[in-house]
Amino acid sequence: MKHIYKTKGTCSRTIEFEIDGDVVKNVEFIGGCAGNTAGIGKLVEGKKAEDVVKMLSGINCRGGTSCPDQLATAIREAI
C-alpha cells in the first residue's frame, strides 16, 4: 500500500513509500537534499518497517527532527 506523508520541520516536503506486509519499499522524498534522501531510501529498501523505525527515530538535523526521523514517524503512523 502506498503512503504519502507531509513532513514537518525538514527541507523535504513529502515522503512517499510503500509497506508490503511488514517490508518498506519504494521510498521517495520530495524536496530536501537529493543525494542524501535517495541514499536513505536505498538503505531502508527491503527492511522490516519496525527495524527502520528503530534505526532512524530520533536522528536530529536541525529543529529537533530530520528527514530520516520524519521517515521513521511516517512509517510508525502507517503501521
Distance CA 39, CA 23 (A): 17
The pLDDT assigned to 62 comes to: 79
- Listed as ranges, residues in the chain with pLDDT below 50 are none
The pLDDT assigned to 1 comes to: 87
The pLDDT assigned to 4 comes to: 98
Distance CA 33, CA 75 (A): 20
The pLDDT assigned to 63 comes to: 82
The pLDDT assigned to 5 comes to: 98
What predicted TM-score, i.e. pTM, was given to this entire model?
0.96
Q: Which domain holds residue 58?
A: 2-78
CB < 8 Å & 24+ apart, contacts of 50-58: 50/22, 50/79, 52/24, 53/79
The pLDDT assigned to 52 comes to: 98
Among residues 28, 24, 27, the alpha carbon closest in space to that of 46 is found at 24
**For residue 41, what is the domain's CATH number?**
3.30.390
Q: How many domains does the structure of the chain reveal?
A: 1
